[in-house]
Amino acid sequence: MRLLRSVIVFILLLSGSHVEPEELSSTLRGSGESRIFVDGFRDGRTLLVFAHQDDDLVWMMPFWPSSAKFVLAGYPASPVFERLVRSFPPELNYADRWSPAWGTIDDDVFAETFTDWCKRAPIVTLESITAHLRPYFTPDVRRVVTHNNWGEYGHVQHRIVNAAVRQLAVEMGLDVWALGTRVDARSADDQSAYTDVAQGLGLPTVEGYFDANLFRTIRQKYFEAIPAASTAELTQKFRQWSPTLWTWSAAEDAFPKEWRPFIALVSRGRDLTVGNAAVERLVEEVPLTNECTMPPVLPHR
């Protein structure tokens, strides 16, 4: 029943101009000043920008109904990713809103280059991500939901996407929002790994709801998406990176469940995180992961 209700709410939200407050508040909520921010998301002028396919589900799911575009920013897509997004329940209207900022490349090229941390590191930089994102920052965009400054669990590419988005938002006078939670990747299987930290940051906050049933329905599509390339060797390389297109923990409760804080990082072009000691401390404390020179930390191998 909950799943059915979630899907109906998503359909209502996607139908555009006639969104009632109660429907929007089913995935976003806030009181006082935050209520105004929540209402703002109803204007259809929000971009969702994420490093890797599956990050928008794990870290940004409450904004699926209200986002105009889902921009994949940390690597190109390939046909296996295209098939995946087309397999999502059509009522979510995901595929039509999905946009890989680096375009789409051959599965063989993805397997050869982008499954290899050290091959992709000199390609996926702050400069290149910023350049690929810039065309999406058109005058009709008001705000962006993306990764937080500490990269949720410290992923280097989440941090680069965050930095690129904040930089562009400052240039364009936009707002930027991100999950106010820190994650311990070593215990990602368990709810206790997802700790809300928004309260001590002194930043505007709204709350977003991660619906576990809908989350697991979409995650199941990832589990069914098995990477493949044209040769046995490249297919093996692809599957060593990840046996399915789900690259985070597959455990039942391996995501931030229920109501979670989302914090404003940039407000009308002013970066609220610059000089914010509490945010800077988090960036220091959450260990950086998944750099070329580092041993793999689960997941995103």
Q: Whole-number minimum distance, CB 209 to Zn ion, in Å?
A: 21
DSSP secondary structure string for all residues of 101-124:
TT-B--HHHIIIIIT-HHHHTTTS
How far from 300 is each of 23, 26, 35, 154, 195, CA to CA, in Å? 34, 31, 35, 12, 20
Q: Does 129 bind Zn ion (CB under 5 A)?
A: no
Cβ closer to Zn ion: 52 or 260?
52
Q: Whole-number minimum distance, CB 47 to Zn ion, in Å?
A: 17
Cβ closer to Zn ion: 39 or 291?
291
Q: Whole-number minimum distance, CB 233 to Zn ion, in Å?
A: 25
Q: Whole-number minimum distance, CB 51 to Zn ion, in Å?
A: 5
Nearest C-alpha neighbor of 299 from the set 214, 222, 198, 224: 222
Cβ closer to Zn ion: 86 or 301?
301
> What is the C-alpha to C-alpha distance for residues 265 and 151, in angstroms, rounded to an integer?
13
Cβ closer to Zn ion: 124 or 198?
124
Q: Whole-number minimum distance, CB 143 to Zn ion, in Å?
A: 21
- Residue closest to Zn ion (Cβ): 52
Question: Judged by CB under 5 A, how many residues of this single chain contact Zn ion?
Answer: 4
Nearest C-alpha neighbor of 221 from the set 89, 117, 115, 112: 89
Beta strands of 5-129 (E only): which ranges?
28-29, 46-50, 67-72, 98-100
Amino acid, single-letter form, for residue 257: K
Cβ closer to Zn ion: 13 or 51?
51
Q: Which of 219-237 are b and which e, b meaning 16 or more Cβ less than 10 Å from the residue's Cβ? A: bebbeebebebeeeebbeb
Q: Whole-number minimum distance, CB 188 to Zn ion, in Å?
A: 12
> What is the C-alpha to C-alpha distance for residues 179 and 105, in angstroms, rounded to an integer?
30
Cβ closer to Zn ion: 156 or 169?
156
Q: Does 144 bind Zn ion (CB under 5 A)?
A: no
Q: Does 166 bind Zn ion (CB under 5 A)?
A: no
CB-neighbour burial class of residue 246 (10 A; exposed 0-12, middle 13-18, buried 19+) = buried
Per-residue binder mask for Zn ion (CB under 5 A), 253-292, x = binder: ----------------------------------------
Site for Zn ion in 40-69 (CB under 5 A): 51-52, 55
Three-state secondary structure call for residue 77: strand
By CB under 5 A, name the binding residues for Zn ion: 51-52, 55, 300
